[in-house]
Amino acid sequence: MKKYSPTTPSRRHMTVVDYSVLTKIEPMKSALIRIAHRAGRNNQGRITTRHQGGGVKQLYRMVDFKQNKIDIPARIEAIEYDPYRSAFIARALYKDGERRYILAGKDMKEGDEIITAESAIVKNGNRSKLKNIPTSYMVYNIELQPGKGGQMAKSAGSYAQVLAHEGKYTSLKLPSGEVRKVLTEGYATMGQVSNHEHNLVNIGKAGRSRHLGIRPTVRGKAMNPCDHPHGGGEGSQPRGTKRLKTAWGKIAGGHKTRNKKKRSTSLIIKRRVSVRNK
């Protein structure tokens, strides 16, 4: 983590991730695409997601979450920055000459050898079927459906822990604290996602948020009653409602939103622990 000298009020607490671990190299042009920014608006131009808009121009990197080149070793050529995700990405050169972007693991560096195999050697960066990964080991980029590609534990610093193997299911403890069963035939990468200090970043100033494409947020109690359930009153007032509400009157905070009829509920052994109950 890099800190700045307090040369200005906004610099006083600003921090950024130490990017010295990245390789000074241009991104692969074959893996870059431009994604149109909708600024949180739908096809009618109406805002459906608030507080989005602006930001610097970005090019999306096509990242291979499947890593389906089985039994073909690869060498890490470079560790690169990805503006569309919190984690770093790695450029992998496979033995057959193909290059792909993959999620970079913690402590992954140039020159490392990795492989995807049904039963790969237990080593950070290698990808294997869950049933062949020993218990208590950390994994990331986990497949929920075999062959679909990684869907869980993909953000910076995240990982799941293998707890047990039972029949056709493997029990995983997810970053949220939830314990759930996942099919053992699915693949997962061993280790932890890179850039584990991402959660320590202090934005420092409003302009930096605008560069990230985040627009200002107005407090509900600063609005009028017609605009928000917390609005109204003379000067600064408490919200006036028993429970927190969204701008559309829905209960927020402590209200369970998961659909009780969801099929995957039967695979959850232990629900995640609420931040309020920690």
Query: What pLDDT is attached to residue 61?
Result: 95
Same domain, 162 and 58: yes
- Answer yes or no: do 144 and 248 share one domain: no
Q: Which pLDDT value is given to residue 272?
A: 86
Structure tokens that stand for 136 in this block: 């208590």
Least confident of 44-48, 138-142, 233-237: 233-237
Residue 133 falls inside a structural domain: yes
| Total structural domains within the chain | 2
In this predicted structure, what is the pLDDT of residue 277? 57
For residue 213, being part of any structural domain is answered with: no
Same domain for 106 and 182 = yes
Encode pLDDT of 122-156 as tens digits: 999 999 999 999 999 999 999 999 999 999 999 99
Write down the pLDDT at residue 275: 65
- Is 207 part of a structural domain of the chain? no
Residue 278 pLDDT exceeds 80: no
Task: Check which CATH number belongs to the domain holding 88 and give it.
Answer: 2.40.50.140
pLDDT band at 276 (very low <50, low <70, confident <90, very high): low
Residues 176-216 have pLDDT tens digits of 999 999 999 999 999 999 999 999 999 999 999 999 999 99
Is 7 inside any structural domain? Answer: no
pTM of the model as a whole: 0.88
Range of the structural domain that residue 240 is part of: 225-278
Residue 6 forms part of a structural domain: no
Residue 1 has pLDDT above 80, yes or no: yes
Rounded mean pLDDT, 213-236: 93
Same structural domain, 171 and 253:
no
**What percentage of the chain reaches a pLDDT higher than 70?**
99
Residue 50 forms part of a structural domain: yes
